[in-house]
Amino acid sequence: MLFGKKDHLVGLDIGSSSIKVAEITEVKKGSTLAKFGMINIAPGLIEDGSVKDPETVADIIRQLFKAYNIKERNVAIAVGGYSVIVKKIVVQTMSEEQLQDTIQFEAEQYIPFDITDVNIDFQILGENESNPNQMNVLLVAAKTDVVNDFVNLAQMAGMNPCIIDVDAFALQNIFEANYELENENLALIDIGASKTSLNILKDGNSVFMRDVSLGCGQINQKIISLVDCSFEEAEEIKLGGQTNKLSMEDLSDIISGVVTDWCTEIRRALDFFYSTYPEDQIKRIILSGGGGNIKEFRQLLAVETSATVQIINPFENFYVDDERFDISYINKIAPQASICMGLATRKADDK
Ligand X SMILES: Nc1ncnc2c1ncn2[C@@H]1O[C@H](COP(=O)(O)OP(=O)(O)OP(=O)(O)O)[C@@H](O)[C@H]1O
Where on the chain is the footprint of ligand X (CB under 6 A)?
Answer: 15-18, 192-195, 215-217, 235, 238-239, 289-291, 293-294, 336
Q: Which residue is nearest to Mg ion (CB)?
A: 192
Q: Taking CB under 5 A as the rule, does residue 335 contact Mg ion?
A: no
Q: How far is the CB of 19 from Mg ion (least distance, A)?
A: 10
Q: Which is nearer to ligand X, 242 or 275 (CB)?
A: 242
First to last CA, the chain: 22
Residue among 161, 192, 291, 292 that touches Mg ion (CB under 5 A): 192
Part in contact with Mg ion (CB under 5 A); list of ranges 133-141, 157-165, 187-195, 300-308: 187-195
d(CA 276, CA 76) in angstroms, rounded, equals: 33
d(CA 117, CA 97) in angstroms, rounded, equals: 22
CA atoms in the 13 A half-sphere facing the CB of 92: 5
Q: How far is the CB of 76 from Mg ion (least distance, A)?
A: 14
Q: How far is the CB of 61 from ligand X (least distance, A)?
A: 14
Part in contact with Mg ion (CB under 5 A); list of ranges 12-20, 65-73, 172-180, 231-239: 12-20
Q: Taking CB under 5 A as the rule, does residue 15 contact Mg ion?
A: yes
Q: Taking CB under 5 A as the rule, does residue 342 contact Mg ion?
A: no
Q: How far is the CB of 104 from ligand X (least distance, A)?
A: 29
Q: Which is nearer to Mg ion, 15 or 49 (CB)?
A: 15
Q: Which is nearer to Mg ion, 111 or 333 (CB)?
A: 333
| Cβ pair 225, 258 in contact under 8 A | no
Q: Which is nearer to ligand X, 17 or 173 (CB)?
A: 17
Q: Which does 216 bind (CB under 5 to 8 A by kind): ligand X, Mg ion, none?
A: ligand X
Q: How far is the CB of 110 from ligand X (least distance, A)?
A: 24
| Cβ pair 78, 167 in contact under 8 A | yes
How large is the greatest C-alpha to C-alpha distance in the chain, in angstroms?
67
Q: Which is nearer to ligand X, 268 or 295 (CB)?
A: 295
Q: Which is nearer to ligand X, 106 or 222 (CB)?
A: 222
Q: Which does 314 bind (CB under 5 to 8 A by kind): ligand X, Mg ion, none?
A: none
d(CA 243, CA 146) in angstroms, rounded, equals: 38
Q: Which does 290 bind (CB under 5 to 8 A by kind): Mg ion, ligand X, none?
A: ligand X
Q: Which residue is nearest to ligand X (CB)?
A: 290
Q: Which does 143 bind (CB under 5 to 8 A by kind): ligand X, Mg ion, none?
A: none
Burial 191-226 (b: 16+ CB within 10 A, else e): bbbbbbbbbbbbeeebbbbbbbebbbbbbbebbeeb
Q: How far is the CB of 16 from ligand X (least distance, A)?
A: 3
Q: Which does 235 bind (CB under 5 to 8 A by kind): ligand X, Mg ion, none?
A: ligand X
Q: Which is nearer to ligand X, 97 or 326 (CB)?
A: 326
> Binding residues for Mg ion, per CB under 5 A?
15, 192
